Structure formats: C-alpha cells, structure tokens
C-alpha cells in the first residue's frame, strides 16, 4: 500500500503542498481571516500555536503572516503576529514571548555598560525585566524601581539595595503607577535611568499606552544623569497613543537592529549613541 507523507519545511514545493491542503483546511484567504480574528481576540498568537491549530508547517504560517502583515491587518513579530492598535497593548504574557531572544541580547549589552556600585532607575516592561536579569552578576547596585518583577529578579543579590516606589499596583504585570510613585521617584537623582517603550514613531516620538505609566517614566527620565532606552526593532514605527517625549532626549539606544534611516538621522543629530546587539 502506498504511503503519503505530510508536508514539511524541507519540501521542494511548498506551494503545491499548500494547495493540496486547501480542501481539508479551507482556502488561504479563509485561513488568513481566521488568523486575523485570532490576533484581534488574543492580542498575539505564536507561529507554533497557528501551526498546530491549522495542521500546517511553520514555513507556511510565516508566509501567511507576511501576507497579512503586508496588508496592514496584523503586526509581524519574531515568533508570531500581534494586533495593530494605538490604544491597547498586547497582553503581558504575550509581550514576554515577542522578540524574546532579541530582548535578552539587548539586555546583556545594557548590563555591560553599567558599572558596579552605580545607582539606577528601572521602569516597567518586559525588556527592562531582562535587563534586571542581566544585572544579577553586578555588585553594589542601588536600584529604584516601580516594577515589582524587577525587584524580585534582583532580590537574591544581597549586595544590592533595592527600593520600590509606592503607588497603585497594576495586577496584570506588577507595575506600580500613580502620583505616589512619581513623587517618590522625584526624591532621587541617579546615575542611569533604564527605560523601555511600546513604540517609537517615525518622527522620534516615544510612545506608550498608559498615561499613568508614562508619567512615571517621565519622572525617571527627568531625574537620571543618563537615560538608556532598551527597545527591540519591533518598536520602530509602532503606534501608541500616549507621548512620553522624544528619542533625542535619551543618551543611548540599545536595540537589535539599526533604526530606520530617518530615525538614525535624528539620533545622530542629537548625538545619541546607538548600540546594536548582534
């Protein structure tokens, strides 16, 4: 009896394999519509999840996401697809997955620039949490943070002094915001302010989704001798509704790819250092 093997990423004709699955899995257009609906309902879906759901190879799913992204219906991320929205961020568990390897590389590069016995702010975000992990081998740091995850990550190092800003706790990601947090941060003047951001507009605007979170980040920027922005390349030209400031106000950008030409021109004109983690 003849046997039939399922399509794989090593097949010589992905298009034929895909056509062969149309009758069983529905048309490509129907599948794309279902992917868009999933992204809109969940905020982010991974390639692995979609591959299992549709019984297709990762390579086929990547092509689907590329097509949908080119139509402006979803935002393509490393490892999956997310929604395009200026008013609502992707949920915290999904944000931890997006560009995870890139965030770790960025975090290591940031940590290499921070000397022992330095004082620093670390704000809210999955990238800044990776920075906290990369700083665990330092000694004598004094860290002020409004991110309980950062405090917990750093707490095993007994040489650190960790100060947590008081305020309103945001349950979904353990962020502390509000006027109390702002007032507390304003009491300090630190060596380094390490911040993350949800999006960087083409004009250099630093953008985020939560007004209260932005106000705390603004206080961090205003009370740091040097401001380091840790942002992976998916943040370039990503939309969000609340403006924190401009990229020309930071001292250094740590990312995983060179910024777009217009953004790089802004950075160069403001003498902002750009560090790319390869």
Residue 7 lies in a domain: no
Residue 110 lies in a domain: yes
Relative to beta strand 80-82, strand 44-46 is antiparallel
Q: Are 177 and 170 in contact (CB under 8 A)?
A: yes
Residue 5 lies in a domain: no
Of 189, 84, 88, nearest to 144 (Cα)?
189
Judgement on whether residues 66 and 103 belong to the same structural domain of the protein: no
Residue 9 lies in a domain: no
Structural domains in the chain (count): 2
pLDDT for res 217: 96
Judgement on whether residues 79 and 150 belong to the same structural domain of the protein: no
Domain enclosing residue 205, as ranges: 94-276
d(CA 124, CA 149): 9
Judgement on whether residues 126 and 196 belong to the same structural domain of the protein: yes
Judgement on whether residues 136 and 23 belong to the same structural domain of the protein: no
Judgement on whether residues 254 and 160 belong to the same structural domain of the protein: yes
Task: Supply the CATH number for residue 25's domain.
Answer: 1.10.10.10
Residue 4 lies in a domain: no
Residue 8 lies in a domain: no
pLDDT for res 226: 98
Judgement on whether residues 26 and 135 belong to the same structural domain of the protein: no
Task: Supply the CATH number for residue 123's domain.
Answer: 3.40.50.1360
pLDDT for res 86: 47
Judgement on whether residues 77 and 213 belong to the same structural domain of the protein: no
Residue 200 lies in a domain: yes
Judgement on whether residues 75 and 169 belong to the same structural domain of the protein: no
Domain boundary among 23, 54, 84: 84
d(CA 222, CA 236): 23
pLDDT for res 13: 42
Instruction: List the pLDDT tens digit at each of the 278 positions of the chain.
Output: 444 444 444 444 444 444 444 444 458 888 988 998 888 767 678 899 999 999 999 999 999 998 888 776 787 877 888 776 544 555 656 666 666 789 999 999 999 999 999 999 999 999 999 999 999 999 999 999 999 999 999 999 999 999 999 999 988 889 999 999 999 999 999 999 999 998 898 899 999 988 989 999 999 999 999 999 999 987 886 778 899 999 999 999 999 989 989 999 999 999 999 999 98
Judgement on whether residues 38 and 123 belong to the same structural domain of the protein: no
Judgement on whether residues 65 and 115 belong to the same structural domain of the protein: no
pLDDT for res 92: 58
Judgement on whether residues 140 and 227 belong to the same structural domain of the protein: yes
d(CA 38, CA 50): 9
As given in the structure block, the two tokens for residue 138 are 């330092």
With helix as H, strand as E and coil as C, how does the chain read? CCCCCCCCCCCCCHHHHHHHCHHHHCCHHHHHHHHHHHHHHHCEEEHHHHHHHHCCCHHHHHHHHHHHHHCCCCEEECCEEECCCCCCCCCHHHHHHCCHHHHHHHHHHHHHHCCCCCEEEECCCHHHHHHHHHCCCCCCCEEEECEHHHHHHHCCCCCCEEEECCCEEECCCCEEECHHHHHHHCCCCEEEEEECCCEECCCCEEEECCHHHHHHHHHHHHCEEEEEEECCHHHECCCCCEEEEEHHHCCEEEECCCCCHHHHHHHHHCCCEEEECC
As given in the structure block, the two tokens for residue 173 are 């990601």
pLDDT for res 22: 42
Judgement on whether residues 19 and 121 belong to the same structural domain of the protein: no
């Amino acid at each position: 009896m003849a046997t039939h093997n399922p399509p794989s990423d090593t097949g010589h004709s992905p298009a034929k394999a895909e056509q062969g699955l149309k009758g069983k899995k529905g048309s490509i257009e129907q599948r794309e519509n279902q992917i868009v609906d999933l992204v809109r309902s969940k905020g982010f879906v991974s390639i692995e999840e979609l591959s299992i759901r549709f019984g297709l190879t990762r390579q086929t799913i990547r092509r689907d996401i590329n097509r949908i992204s080119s139509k402006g219906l979803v935002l393509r991320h490393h490892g999956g697809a997310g929604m395009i929205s200026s008013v609502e961020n992707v949920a915290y568990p999904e944000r931890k997955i997006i560009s995870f390897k890139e965030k770790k590389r960025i975090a290591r590069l940031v940590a290499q620039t921070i000397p022992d016995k330095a004082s620093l702010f670390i704000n809210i975000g999955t990238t800044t949490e990776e920075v906290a992990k990369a700083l665990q081998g330092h000694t004598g740091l004094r860290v002020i943070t409004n991110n309980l995850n950062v405090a917990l990550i750093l707490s095993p190092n007994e040489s650190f002094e960790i100060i947590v800003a008081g305020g309103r706790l945001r349950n979904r990601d353990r962020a502390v915001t509000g006027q109390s947090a702002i007032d507390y941060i304003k009491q300090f003047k630190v060596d380094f302010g390490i911040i993350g951001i949800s999006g960087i507009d083409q004009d250099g605007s630093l953008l985020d989704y939560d007004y209260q979170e932005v106000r705390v980040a603004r206080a961090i920027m205003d009370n740091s001798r040097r401001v380091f922005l840790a942002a992976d390349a998916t943040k370039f030209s990503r939309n969000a509704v609340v403006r924190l400031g401009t990229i020309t106000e930071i001292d250094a950008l740590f990312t995983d790819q060179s910024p777009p030409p217009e953004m790089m021109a802004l950075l160069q004109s403001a003498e902002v250092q750009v560090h790319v983690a390869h």
